[in-house]
Amino acid sequence: MDIFLQQIINGLVLGSIYALVALGYTMVYGILGLINFAHGDIVMVGALVALTVVSALGGSGLPPAVVLLAAMGAAMIVCIALGVTIERVAYRPLRRAPRLAPLITAIGVSILVQYSAALVWGKQYISLPTLITPSEVAVAGAVFTDIQGYIFLLACGIMAALLLFIKKSRIGRAMRATEQNPDIAGLMGVDTNRIIAFTFLVGSAIGAIAGVMVVLYYGLGHYFMGFMLGLKAFTAAVLGGIGNVAGAMLGGLLLGIIESLASGYIGDLTGGVLGSNYRDIFAFLVLIGVLVLRPAGLMGQQVSERA
């Protein structure tokens, strides 16, 4: 029983990170109908910037919280600049081109960002200097660290704030209008170009925070880490119903739980034939299953021929 609870807790923490990354995918898909392949790599850049800042300030005697905030701020600034530039340079000129074109461009941008990062940071794994020693919290036989707790709470806070923002604010309303129909929204006085750029800005900023969380969670960064993370987050977005912000959150948490339960139990269930080295397969299986059985996802509306 405590193993079960343990896996659920791990899944929730990991899932909250997936959910944050998934928000970036789902918002862009909602407005542009484009899978922004480069989003996972933006998260990667955020993670590596944060690692650099922490390494630089780690020995300066500043309190850990200040160092972390500085890292997060730097990561957000770099990611926002990157995300908005990508939108302006690579995606905007192709907005009315046939579907295949922006998708291939997105793949190209993703490769560019990855290997530019490899040039800047090298190809080796970069580890996080010990900044804070996590203290452990035990609940009913399961153990988690306070850092994991903070990650989960912060992620939930960001998601709640985003939902509120989209629902209540003026810009949020413009975002929803653009999502429904960019042309009509333009006629109603919405500057759709600015709204789309703003969507990339918000997605990249949240992605940067997710990147910092990944670094804190695993203690490692790598130029290729955005690929798997991005795929899983995309799966989460599809699971929740792509284009649906609340769905991305639900999908992220669910995927995290599914993945940690599945990789925790697969060895026992199959008598050791399949081990936890198959853990990355589950995300793909979930993705394929959802797309085949219920393409609209858990919370999405049935849209015909959009996919």
Please report, for the chain, how many H helices and E strands are present, in that order. Answer: 11, 4
Residue numbers 171-210 binding another protein by CB under 8 A: 182-183
- Report the residue number, 119 or 139, with the smaller CB distance to another protein: 119
Residue 108 C-beta: closest distance to another protein, Å: 3
Nearest in space to 257 (alpha carbons), one of 24, 5, 23, 40: 5
Residue 33 is a binding residue for another protein (CB under 8 A) = yes
Which position among 22, 35, 236, 249 is part of the footprint of another protein (CB under 8 A)?
A: 35
Burial class (CB in 10 A: 0-12, 13-18, 19+), 150: middle
Which position among 90, 142, 220, 246 is part of the footprint of another protein (CB under 8 A)?
A: 90
Residue 98 is a binding residue for another protein (CB under 8 A) = yes
Structure tokens at 138: 């035990």
Structure tokens at 240: 């929740």
Which position among 56, 94, 142, 220 is part of the footprint of another protein (CB under 8 A)?
A: 94
Which position among 165, 295, 298, 299 is part of the footprint of another protein (CB under 8 A)?
A: 295
Task: Please work out the total of residues on this chain that contact another protein, with binding judged by CB under 8 A.
Answer: 53
H/E run at residue 143: strand 142-145
User: 98: alpha, beta or left, given left = phi > 0 and alpha = psi -120 to 50?
Assistant: beta
CA distance 185 to 203: 21
Residue 107 is a binding residue for another protein (CB under 8 A) = yes
Q: List interacting residues with another protein (CB under 8 A).
A: 33-35, 90, 93-105, 107-116, 118-119, 182-183, 227, 231, 234, 238, 272-275, 277-278, 280-281, 284-285, 287-288, 291-292, 295, 305-307
